[in-house]
Amino acid sequence: MASTEIEGLVQALARLPGLGPRSARRAALHLLKKRESALAPLLQALGAVADRLATCGVCGNVDTSDPCAICRDDRRDPRMLCVVEDVADLWALDRSRLFPGRFHVLGGRLSALEGIRPEDLTIDALLRRVAAGGIDEVVLAMNATLEGQTTAHYLAERIEAFPVRLTQLAHGLPVGGELDYMDEGTLAQALRARRPIV
């Protein structure tokens, strides 16, 4: 129906997460109809990123500079290091603006099922950063999944040897969570980690 070029655009859009074939066509049509206000800006934005895309050699973040904006930011506390599985997790935590320190991206989590071993992640680089000193606290911010927690456990054992405070994100009821809708695992976690009311 449409030309090869338009079909190519629909297919490229359909490969984005969150866009199926139907929404990719809608998005493509939107771009075609709003050439100046949608297609041109997206083209320009993609080009700008493509030209300068880099993986941060320090923390593993993706950015348009190496080291990334976070690692270069002097206002960030270099004594606090937050370890995350993925760049998406780094972005999520950074959006909250609650963590004042720097990050380390593992590039995944240990998984017997998928055959991901310690040497497949940036664990050696993490240990070198910790060994280099100047870090007071390492926050393990793995996902609250079985594999995430296995990874956190493994990292804890490796980092224990260093003179740093080792912490992990709290587990329990999410804000707004109603007990009636919580799974048993969350309830068990929330009960086990209950805290005294001061």
Single out the residue of 53, 161, 170, 188 in contact with its own copies (rule: CB under 8 A): 53
Q: Please select the residue that binds its own copies; options are 66, 67, 76, 94, rule is CB under 8 A.
A: 94
Chain centroid to CA 94: 9
Q: Residue 82: which of 177, 162, 168 has the closest Cα?
A: 168
| Minimum distance from residue 32 beta carbon to its own copies (Å) | 4
Task: List the one residue from 59, 81, 83, 87 that touches its own copies (CB under 8 A).
Answer: 87
Q: How far is the CB of 196 from its own copies (least distance, A)?
A: 36
Backbone angles phi and psi of 159, in degrees to 5: -90, -20
How many H helices and E strands in the chain? 8, 6
114 belongs to the binding site for its own copies (CB under 8 A): no
Considering the rule CB under 8 A, would residue 50 count as an interface residue with its own copies?
Answer: yes
- Binding part of the chain for its own copies, among 75-83, 85-93, 124-132, 175-183 by CB under 8 A, reads 85-93
Q: Strand ranges (DSSP E) for 37-193?
A: 54-55, 62-63, 77-84, 101-105, 137-140, 165-168
Residue 45 as a binder of its own copies (CB under 8 A): the answer is yes
